Structure formats: structure tokens, C-alpha cells
Structure 1
Amino acid sequence: MREPYQVLVIPYKIINDDIKFAIFSRSDMKCWQWIAGGGEDFDESIIESARREAYEEARIPLNSALIELDSRTTIPVEHCAGGFIWGDDVYVVEEYSFGVNVISDKLEISSEHKGFKWVSYDEAMELLKYDSNRSALWELNIRLLRQTN
């Protein structure tokens, strides 16, 4: 049984002060988004869910450096894999956002995605479908810019 929350993980890399983000094209819809998924069981923490989802969807190593973002939102359960799996009384779930520093250019994507590409902040903002994805990107980008300056 999945836990009633969602995680959002934004892979990034910094090369010569240039920040790039890996954005993913969904297999089941025509949209671009970050890595997303939910908690697998009651013993898994939110950050463990983020690490697992990053590994499952893009083979990002489990020990990669994560940045926990302040960006949080609630999203309709119909936007989560499995829809109303938590019963008729759960309409929205919390979404927690993270950034993950990726060392390799090559990601091995799961069947949830038909492709990915490394893009700039501006290109990601144009491609992303969901406002929560854009808000999390904005926060991560500001944090990374402050670190590199």
C-alpha cells in the first residue's frame, strides 16, 4: 500500500557555473515533469522515498546528495499513479520536493518515461506542465545560484 504523499525530485548538474536540469517526458501523457512518485510502505521516510524514486526512474545512485526544498503543495489524487488508491475520503495528497546532484550525463530511465533531456532553467520553465514543478524548480535554481556566486 502506498503512503498518501508524493515526492518530486529534480536532477541537476553544475558545469562551470552553468546549471542544467534533467526533465522527463512521460510515457502515458504528453507532458514534461520531474521524477515523481509516492511512499511505498509505512517504514519509508519521505527522503527515502525521494531517493528510491530517483533510483527507480533514472538510476540515480541512492547515496547522491539531496537538497530538501521548502516547496510543498497538495495535489489531486487523480494526478498520482493509481488515482484513488487511498480510498474515497482522500482527495489531495502532500507533495514534497527535492533536488539531486547528478554526476553523470547519462541517466537510465524507466518505462514511466519515453525520454529525458538536460535543459536550462528557462527551457524547463517553458516545458513543465505542473505549477508545483515550476515552483520547486524556481526554489532549487535560486538556492544553486546563491551557492555558485
Structure 2
Amino acid sequence: MRAPYQVLVIPFVFRELGIEYAILKRSDMDYWQAIAGGGEMGETPEQSARREAFEETGLGEDCGLIHLDSKTSLPVEHVVGHFLWGEEVFVIPEYSFGLEVYDQKLNLSKEHTAYKWVIYEEAVSALKWDSNKTALWELHTRLNIINRQKENYVKL
């Protein structure tokens, strides 16, 4: 049974020239997004993020998961089409994660027709949803801070 929350997962890879992010094209609509899906009862948001990543792209447990601060509220009717959790639940939270990928080949489910690895600027301009853009900004900013700290540590 569906739990009353969603997850958003942004795959990323460190490349020699910088960080790239995977964005996916929906099969039922003509737009780009990150991995998104619903939680299941009994799962933590982290477990849901890993399961959704595996179901939609084949990415496995070997990927590093980063819990982001970015969280949005989504209207229930936009997510599941009706008041699945009763008429008193109007909005549900969407928790965001980054997923460090080591093998850049994704095995897409029927939910998406294409994916591409792109730099931050291309990803943020292609993504449809503001929640995806906000989570991407946070992830990109966090990763750049981590990279700068690593560079400073190596110089010491």
C-alpha cells in the first residue's frame, strides 16, 4: 500500500570536467524530471528512494545516497489522482535525495523513454518541476562545496 509521501532522486556522477546529472524523459508526457515515486507502507524515505531508483533505472545498492534538505508539499490529487489517504490528507511531502552513480548506463522502466547526463545548467533549464530544480540546486551546491574542501585538504 502507498505511504503518504513521495521521493525525488537525482542521480549524479563525478567526471573529469565536472559533475553531471541524469534527467529522465517521461513516457506519458513530454517533459524531463528526476526519478520520482511514492513510498510504500513500512519503508523509510531512504528505502523508498533506493527502491524507486532501482525500479526506474536499475541503479543498485552500491550507489551512495545523500539526503537533501529540499522538501516540498504536493497536492494529493496531482500525485495519485484522488484522496487515497482520506479526505483529511490534502498534501503529502516529497523528500529529495542525490544518488552517486558509478556506472552511467541506466536501464529505464516503461515510465521513461530517454535519459541524458548533463551539466547543472542544462539540467536546471530542462527540468519541468520547481521541486526538481530546487533539489538539483541544493545537490549541486553541496557537491561543489565538498569538492572545494577535498581540493583544500589535498593542498595541505
**Bin for the TM-score computed over the shorter chain:** over 0.9
| CA deviation vs aligned residue, 1:74-129 (integer Å, no higher than 9, x gap) | 0112332x322223332211010000000112000100111110011000111111
What TM-score comes out, normalization by structure 2 length? 0.90
Any runs of at least 4 consecutive aligned residues in structure 1 with deviations exceeding 4 A, and if so which? Answer: none
1:93 aligns with 92
1:139 aligns with 138
1:61 aligns with 60
Where 1:14 maps in the other structure, the secondary structure is strand
Question: How many residues get paired?
Answer: 147
- Unaligned regions of 5+ residues in structure 1, if any? none
2:103 aligns with 104
Q: Which amino acid aligns with 1:83?
A: G
Q: Which amino acid aligns with 1:20?
A: E
CA distance in 2, matches of 1:79, 1:12: 27
CA RMSD in angstroms comes to: 1.1
Q: Which amino acid aligns with 1:60?
A: L
2:36 aligns with 36
CA shift, 1:63, in A, is 3.6
- Unaligned regions of 5+ residues in structure 2, if any? 149-156
2:81 aligns with 83
CA distance in 1, matches of 2:138, 2:11: 13
Decide which structure has the larger Cα Rg and report it: 2
Where 1:3 maps in the other structure, the secondary structure is strand
1:127 aligns with 126
What TM-score comes out, normalization by structure 1 length? 0.94
CA distance in 2, matches of 1:89, 1:111: 33
| CA deviation vs aligned residue, 1:34-87 (integer Å, no higher than 9, x gap) | 00011112x11110000000000001112421000000110112332x322223
Matched residues, percent identical?
Answer: 53
